[in-house]
Amino acid sequence: MFLVLGLVVAIAELNSGTFYLAGVAAAAFLTSFSGFWLRADWLPIAFFVFCIGILPLVLLLRHRLPRGRTLPDPDVGQIVTVVSVSQESGRLVVSYRGSRWDAVLDRGKMPEPGQSAAITRKTDKLLHLAGGS
């Protein structure tokens, strides 16, 4: 029973990304292996003890692991088409993926309407562009 619980919780942890469910899965696996030495009526107590015992280890590992490993933005480097340019504010309206986006030019020459530019990054709903071609 605890082996199945460990597998289900481990799969749930892989899908959710919470580190604490990994501790619960480890406690369930340890409980299933301790079933070779303990009577069946002691297994729920062993599971509880393992969960409490693993909690400090999980908390310690959670704070020591590096954070911020995010996937690269797939939009960076993509080409957009300039629809309009506001000379006063320096803002551009560009066409990208079938919709219009507000954009600013980070570097390069200000493109004219109809020209293209490359996305260097995104902040909120604003595209940052590099030069016109």
Is the CB of residue 123 less than 8 Å from the CB of residue 129? Answer: no
> How much is the pLDDT for 12?
82
Residue ranges, comma separated, of all CATH 2.40.50.140 domains in the chain are: 79-130
Query: Which of the four CATH numbers 2.40.420.20, 3.90.1150.10, 2.40.50.140, 2.40.10.10 does domain 79-130 have?
Result: 2.40.50.140
Confidence of residue 67 (pLDDT cuts 50, 70, 90): low
Determine the Cα–Cα distance for residues 31 and 75; give it in Å rounded to an integer. Answer: 46
Give the pairing of strands 99-107 and 126-130.
parallel
Determine the Cα–Cα distance for residues 26 and 105; give it in Å rounded to an integer. Answer: 51
Classify 129 as helix, strand or coil. Answer: strand
108-130 pLDDT, tens digit each: 888 888 888 999 988 888 899 98
- Which tokens go with 34? 């301790």
